[in-house]
């Protein structure tokens, strides 16, 4: 059974994230593999959209939207994937088709991360939290981290 993520705890509002892409199938394949999501079958008349959901049904819907324009500037919003093994996850995502935007890891306040680009050039970060925040990856509520795309930029 699908249980969408709620916004602010409100029972009447579900949160979905929409990501622009050039190729729905390519983007769906990449993001499903990257996040452990499943793509819903494309319905007749669904137009330039593809729905991706967490495999267990719990969590935020990712809606891919095919657009004709090419990405030209830095995203105003991006995904953070927080993991324990930064190098292994970056290698896995690169093997799936991501590209590195940073050669060396960025660091701030104990957080270490790389900026990657998905197949459409959308930026996202893969972060390893400092030791005091690693318990969050086993189910404890996440505390705030630095804005990974801004630290170290002029």
Per-residue pLDDT tens digits for 17-42: 999 999 999 999 999 999 999 999 88
Is 104 a domain residue? yes
pLDDT at 128: 93
Which residues pair with residue 63 across a beta bridge?
A: 18, 51
C-alpha–C-alpha distance, residues 137 and 129, integer Å: 9
C-alpha–C-alpha distance, residues 77 and 94, integer Å: 21
- Please report the DSSP string for 106-136 in residue order: EEETTEEEEEEE-TT--EEEEEE--GGGGGG
pLDDT at 103: 93
Six-digit token string for 57: 């049904």
Q: What is the CATH number of the domain that holds 56?
A: 3.30.720.120
Phi/psi of residue 97, nearest 5 degrees: 125, 0
Considering only 70-74, 144-148, 150-154, which range has the smallest mean pLDDT? 150-154
3-state secondary structure of 43: coil
Best CA proximity match to 77, nearest among 43, 125, 113? 125
pLDDT per residue as tens digits for the range 61-110: 999 999 998 888 888 889 999 999 999 999 999 999 999 999 999 999 99
pLDDT at 76: 82
Residues 6+ apart with CB under 8 A from 46: none
Note down the domain range covering 21: 3-66
Domain count, the chain: 2
C-alpha–C-alpha distance, residues 138 and 134, integer Å: 8
51 and 26 in one domain?
yes
54 and 94 in one domain?
no
End position of a domain, from candidates 22, 37, 66: 66
95 and 55 in one domain?
no
Is 11 a domain residue? yes
């Amino acid at each position: 059974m699908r249980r969408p993520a709620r916004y602010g705890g409100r029972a009447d509002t579900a949160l979905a994230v929409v990501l622009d892409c050039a190729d729905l199938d390519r983007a769906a394949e990449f993001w499903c593999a990257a996040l452990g999501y499943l793509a819903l079958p494309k319905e007749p008349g669904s137009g330039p959209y593809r729905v991706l959901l967490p495999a267990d049904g719990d969590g935020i819907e990712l809606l891919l939207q095919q657009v004709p324009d090419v990405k030209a500037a830095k995203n105003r919003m991006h995904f953070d994937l927080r993991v324990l093994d930064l190098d292994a996850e970056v290698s896995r995502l690169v093997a799936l088709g991501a590209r590195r935007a940073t050669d060396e890891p960025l660091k701030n306040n104990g957080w270490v991360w790389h900026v990657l680009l998905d197949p459409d050039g959308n930026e996202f970060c893969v972060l390893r939290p400092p030791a005091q925040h690693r318990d969050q990856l086993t189910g404890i509520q996440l505390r705030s981290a630095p804005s990974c795309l801004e630290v170290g930029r002029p």
